[in-house]
Amino acid sequence: MFSSILVFLIVLSVLVLVHEAGHFFAARRAGVLVEEFGFGLPPKIISKKIGETEYSLNLLPFGGFVRLHGENVEEGITLPKRAFLKKSKKARATIVLAGVVMNLVLAVAAFAIVYSVSGIPKETEDVKIVEVATGSPAEIRGFRIGDTIEKVGKVEVTSVSGFIEEVDKANGARVAIEITRDQETKKITITPRENPPEGEGPLGVAISAIEVYFPPVWQRPFVGIYYGFKDAVFWGGQIIFGFVDIFKGLMGGSMPKGVAGPVGIFAITSQVATIGTLAVINFIGILSVNLAILNAIPFPALDGGRLLFIGLEGVMGKRILPKVESAIHTVGMILLLVALLAITIHDVRRIFSAGGVSNFISSFGK
């Protein structure tokens, strides 16, 4: 349990610190005074002032913040030239967006590390058996993991979809399947099942045409970044569609199953940690994309909400009263904390009703 908590805190710390570091460095570059860099949400546990910035550790480890001079209200501004509200719209928008950008950069970096170490997946025309179900026709007839499927009947197999299509055509009739094993060609006659058990196909095999290759060492970081960027785009799309489904579910009065709060993320992190370090790094990449997109939503208290007010200022030609904007963001933060509490309670109930962490994780997307 201690190791799971430690991994969870490390993952959370990396995500939060990278995000807030984006705001921190963008603010300093724009000449804005950073009054406090906080990890977690208040109340404050401990703090130390280094230079002109106070660094604090707070009780609720579910976020972080950078407090800028003159960020919300004009009262109390003692250094106008270094106040956030006194900066141009472009400078303020850059500071607000910097956290989102840094999370996307972290995601690409995480995926790039995974690909650099574990290799690059490449689709080939060699369709291989990667799993054989116990008691299935494939096991009974002697198929093995690693067999390369050459033909089904008289049709050459060059893709997973092509193999599935030809087996389905057999429709329960005997069919000859040609394979290559240890550089030898064999023909095995088999009868696909018409009504296979749930989770198994007619033959009882899992197949793949994906192979892993390793570019030269000096190329791996660059190739890893390329594929890491593609993964970030992919997960970004998945997360956006997921948020749409969540919104539809909430409008219908139900809590979507694909939502996880701190307790749920802790449970998933604990499970991922048992797989290995690369799995944890990959999970950090997925969470970082998630955090970037979540923060980009135009909701009060989120980065997207602050950016929305800057955009409205540009459209209307005048600034919304800082006191009014600050009050709206405060209400937004309260609503977010209430939602966080509701999701946390929901997570705990789901873990108990599922009968454990493994069943809880497998319930996502069902």
Domains and CATH numbers, the chain: 2-118+226-362 (no CATH), 121-213 (2.30.42.10)
Residue 358, token pair as written in the block: 């493994």
pLDDT of residue 365: 47
pLDDT of residue 243: 65
Residue 259: exposure state from Cβ atoms within 10 A (0-12, 13-18, ≥19): buried
Angle at Cα 158 formed by Cα 157 and Cα 160, nearest 5°?
Answer: 85
pLDDT of residue 355: 63
For residue 261, CA distances in Å to 121, 244, 255 come to 32, 17, 12
pLDDT of residue 176: 93
Q: Cα–Cα distance between 311 and 308 in angstroms, integer? A: 5
Residues 101-138 have pLDDT tens digits of 999 999 999 988 988 888 888 888 889 999 999 999 99
Largest Cα span, the chain: 85
DSSP-derived pairing of the beta strands 120-132 and 205-213: antiparallel
Question: For 47, phi and psi rounded to 5 degrees?
Answer: -150, 160
Residues 15-66 have pLDDT tens digits of 988 999 999 999 999 999 999 999 887 889 999 999 999 999 988 776 788 9
pLDDT of residue 262: 66
Q: Which stretches of the chain drop beneath a pLDDT of 70?
A: 1-2, 62, 242-263, 346-347, 350-351, 354-366
| pTM (2 d.p.) | 0.76
In the chain, the N- to C-terminal Cα span, in Å, equals 28
Is the alpha carbon torsion for 28, 31, 35, 40 positive or negative?
A: negative
For residue 124, CA distances in Å to 59, 129, 160, 167, 219 come to 51, 14, 10, 20, 21
| Residues labelled catalytic | 20
